[in-house]
Amino acid sequence: MLELNLKPLRPYLTAGLMAIAATTAVLPVTPVWAQTRTLPDFTDLVDQVGPSVVNIRTLEKVKASAAGNIDEQMLEFFKRFGIPVPPNTPRAPRPDPSQPDEDQPRGVGSGFILTTDGFVMTNAHVVEGADEVLVTLTDKREFKARIIGADKRSDVAVVKIEATGLPAVKIGDLSRLRVGEWVMAIGSPFGLENTVTAGIVSAKQRDTGDYLPFIQTDVAINPGNSGGPLINMRGEVVGINSQIYSRSGGFQGISFSIPIDEATRVAEQLRISGKVTRGRIGVQIDQVTKDVAESIGLGKAQGALVRGVESDAPAEKAGIEAGDIITKFEGKTIDKASDLPRMVGNVKPGTKVTVTVFRRGATKDLSVTIAEVEADKPARPAAKSESRPPVAGPAQALGLAVSDITDAQKKELNVKGGVKVDTVDGAAARAGLREGDVIVSMANTEVTGVKGFEAALAKIDKSKNITVLVRRGELAQFVIIKPAR
């Protein structure tokens, strides 16, 4: 066996270890929690992007009237909001047709240069109703702008000034934008040109009920910032500052910006045709609740509940029915109901797409031909035809009395069958059922008439929740009848 004699090396080893210990002792040890990052410096970004941001002033032509008098529109405003009119307030005289129109300031907003040849993007509400639009650059040059197009639904507008060699912005990639990332805004809050504010992205895909999902930030945005750019740390535009959440009218820490990818898609159509063409399939939709998803076997609360189908619309022609839950559009999952109109709206009319629906416990793929968005049609009143006498039976245990519906009602509601609720009490009333509702399915079983309704009800465990699909007028909804505890 080989043995090593380390005694001769011991002095050298000891000296080496002492040297290492001495070196280590002088190295600073900084805890992870104590390490900080330096704050961002926006100066270079302002120099880079600032010249691409413009101030927008709008004018409207009005008839000259006596100063200090209240016109009819202002009086109507007072009436509508319940504001008392001061006594002995002089009324504005009616405009004299012989007097020339006067240009009056209407509003102030912001915008940014899209192309070097003078196309400028802003908000639709900034230029709405304007008779004249004036664009001022950072070098103080002022141009009269021509409105190329404005889209109220997305709140995007494009105007054109006659100039060349302008500093255009760089468009950012929304897929790279992260919550918590630093962003900056440049605009004209309260008319103060070239004002810079900064903050972070608070949320993405924020649904506020509008057509587009917004970027939420805590960047200070105030009146006059509308239409200005939201800029990332790479100097790219990622959004258009559009709205704020406020109880006072001023900034309170929550602002919303239109995602730039959606805005550029709209702007491209405005530049080509002056308007935006969107697709539609003709359905009225609602959110799918957790209780409904679980009770019908969908599992996760996702998709768009079809509450109504417009007569002769693409959805009806494709076989989509009220009560269906649209779960996918062209293979893309619909997480929430508001996703559907955005997906459909981005499809060119005339295109055939595949829509996946969940109906009575099973999924089904349907082919739909997209139509063009048109003006909303008023809802038709429900049929007032007399129904047959109510039938009593097992339904009374739920507090229901139902009857068959007439052929006229079936045609009016566009259903194959169902039963009409004549009286409602007890558990059914607590669930929200009303007299006049038409029950078209129960526990994922289609109801064709009273006999079918009674047969389906007899097979159901009355001690568990019962999911009922009802038609109320032209709209459908799920109602969950819970047993008494």
What are the binding residues for substrate?
A: 125, 155, 224-226
Cβ-Cβ contacts under 8 Å for 76 (sequence gap 6 or more): none
Is 173 strand, coil or helix? coil
Is 291 tagged catalytic?
Answer: no
Task: Give the end-to-end CA distance of the chain in Å, rounded to a whole number.
Answer: 84
Helix, strand, coil percentages, rounded to 5, for the chain:
25, 35, 45
Q: Residue 7 has what DSSP assignment?
A: G
Q: CA 312 to CA 283: how far, in whole Å? A: 11
- Residue where the block lists tokens 């504001």: 83
Residue 288 amino acid letter: V
Q: How many residues in total does the chain contain? A: 485
Instruction: Kindly report the number of other CB atoms within 10 A of residue 223's CB atom.
Output: 16
Cβ-Cβ contacts under 8 Å for 91 (sequence gap 6 or more): 69, 70, 71, 72, 75
The CA–CA distances, whole Å, from 482 to 5, 304, 398, 429, 432 equal 87, 24, 9, 10, 11
Instruction: Kindly report the number of other CB atoms within 10 A of residue 272's CB atom.
Output: 10
Dihedral sign from CA coordinates of 205, 224, 190, 100: negative
CB 469 within 8 A of CB 443: no
Give which of 159, 113, 122, 156 is closest to 278, Cα–Cα: 156
Burial class (CB in 10 A: 0-12, 13-18, 19+), 246: middle
Instruction: Kindly report the number of other CB atoms within 10 A of residue 214's CB atom.
Output: 21
Structure tokens at 371: 């139509």
Given 125, 210, 261, 291, which residue is catalytic? 125
Is 422 tagged catalytic?
Answer: no
Give which of 303, 343, 345, 347 is closest to 326, Cα–Cα: 303
Instruction: Kindly report the number of other CB atoms within 10 A of residue 460's CB atom.
Output: 17
Dihedral sign from CA coordinates of 4, 7, 9, 10: positive
Which helix (H) or strand (E) segment holds residue 177: the answer is: none
Q: CA 296 to CA 479: how far, in whole Å? A: 11
Give binding residues as ranges.
Answer: 125, 155, 224-226
Q: Residue 23 has what DSSP assignment?
A: H
Is 139 tagged catalytic?
Answer: no
Q: What is the DSSP string of 91-126?
A: BPPPP-TTSPEEEEEEEEEEEEE-STTSEEEE-HHH
Q: CA 98 to CA 95: how far, in whole Å? A: 9
Given 154, 188, 202, 226, which residue is catalytic? 226
Catalytic residue annotation: 125, 155, 226
